[in-house]
């Protein structure tokens, strides 16, 4: 009977030691993740590289990037696409690109005014999908016709 108790005790001790090692490793990884530094009272923090008070080149580059990437434009309304919120007629970008920018940044980009849109002039009162055969184009008919309505030009066929 005492042999079984000793085996259980050893098994529990090994499991506890493994759990402590995993926890220390996880704390060490969390403290070093994405170059962030944080104060941690774990024993593994003393084994990490010394912290420098001056910002690193990486920190300076990130600061420059964030200054450049400061969202501009109109705040995107929750649950609404930018192309439904702002008139992008004449903007050379696709609706998908415009809406993607809005989803990524939370701001609808300012409309860009390009030169003459590429494509065929849309005939008055006619949909682009009735005017041109868009077979094989990955975009929906609604998107193609929307571009035609917004710009006055039926977009070129995409393959």
Q: What is the pLDDT of residues 35-81, one digit of tens each?
A: 444 444 444 444 444 444 454 444 444 444 444 455 678 899 999 99
Q: For residues 116 and 98, give the distance between their C-alpha atoms in angstroms, rounded to a whole number.
A: 19
Q: For residues 108 and 100, give the distance between their C-alpha atoms in angstroms, rounded to a whole number.
A: 9
pLDDT at 72: 74
Using CA atoms, how far residue 127 sits from 13, 78, 118, 131, 154, in Å, is 75, 31, 17, 6, 8
List of the chain residues with pLDDT < 70? 1-13, 16, 19-20, 23-71, 114-117
Q: For residues 60 and 50, give the distance between their C-alpha atoms in angstroms, rounded to a whole number.
A: 19
Query: What is the full DSSP assignment across 11-52?
Result: HHHHHHHHHHHHHHHHHHHHHHGGG------SGGGGGSPPPP
**114: its two tokens:** 């390009």
End-to-end CA distance of the chain: give it in Å, rounded: 77
């Amino acid at each position: 009977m005492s042999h079984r108790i000793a085996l259980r005790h050893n098994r529990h001790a090994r499991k506890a030691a493994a759990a402590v090692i995993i926890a220390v490793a996880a704390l060490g990884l969390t403290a070093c993740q994405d170059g962030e530094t944080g104060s941690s009272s774990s024993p593994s923090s003393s084994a990490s590289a010394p912290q420098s008070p001056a910002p690193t080149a990486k920190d300076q580059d990130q600061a420059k990037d964030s200054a450049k990437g400061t969202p501009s434009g109109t705040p995107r309304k929750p649950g609404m696409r930018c192309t439904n919120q702002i008139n992008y007629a004449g903007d050379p970008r696709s609706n998908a690109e415009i809406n993607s920018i809005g989803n990524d940044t939370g701001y609808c980009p300012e409309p860009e005014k390009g030169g003459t849109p590429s494509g065929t002039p849309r005939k008055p009162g006619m949909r682009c999908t009735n005017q041109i055969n868009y077979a094989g184009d990955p975009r929906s008919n609604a998107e193609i016709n929307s571009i035609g309505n917004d710009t006055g030009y039926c977009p070129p066929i995409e393959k």
